[in-house]
Amino acid sequence: MAEQQVQPLHNEKHANLKVQNGINVEFLKSQHLIPVVAHEFARVATEFPMAFVKNTESGQFQAVALFGLEPGENLYVKDGKWQAGFAPLAAARYPFGLVKHPEEDQFGIVIDEASPLVSEETGNALFADGKETEYLQARKEALVNYVEFARVTEVFTQFLAEKELLVQQTLTVEIAGEKKDINGIYLVDERKLNELSDEDYLELRKRGYLAPIFAFLTSTHQVARLARLKAQSQEA
């Protein structure tokens, strides 16, 4: 796997660079989960199961989409190709990224020069006559939106944790007649959700949290899809 060469984007240095749309399959093929933001829960739920994972050091929770049943496994990559209908925003941002300025509340855009999506031959131009193209402006806007979405999702997740709606659970799937447990994940506790006071439930509604919660609950049915993909990969 080629090493990443992440550099600040510059209109002179990268005057002739072009970028193809796509995702970094080489990186993703060994990722069994990836962060997701609340704004995409409804779409994510149509393809992937979601869960929350807890950072053992900070105690903070993060929403993730599951691509595999164990670390290092991505069941949505086959023969070097991405098999799902779309990729979560965290993967779709590539080969661009945002880096926060150490002292100021500003972000700079960076690009992985070693990405197979980056070249001077094919793809969408980033600059024309030293100025940003509409394509680059749209990609930058998506990056900034993602940062904002991530902040909102953090607040949303913190709220669920404070209301004790996240509970550690083990998901059991059956693969080729054998049961397998997925441990160390947290799900929204539907029973606790139903037992919330009217006041707390109204607060969820007012904050716009009900839609992502229900999308999250729906997504757990996709675990069966992971089990099917796992069984197929073992047959191949």
Phi-psi region of 22 (alpha: psi -120 to 50; beta: other; left: phi over 0): left
Blockwise average pLDDT, block size 10, the chain, 236 residues = 76 92 88 96 97 91 95 92 92 88 77 92 93 95 93 96 94 84 91 95 96 96 92 80
Tokens for 213?
């919660």
What is the model's pLDDT at position 1?
42
Please count the other Cβ atoms lying within 10 Å of the Cβ belonging to residue 175. Answer: 17
Domain locations in the chain as residue ranges: 26-90+138-235
What is the model's pLDDT at position 236?
61
What is the model's pLDDT at position 104?
67
What is the model's pLDDT at position 165?
97
Give pTM, 2 decimals.
Answer: 0.88
What is the model's pLDDT at position 131?
93
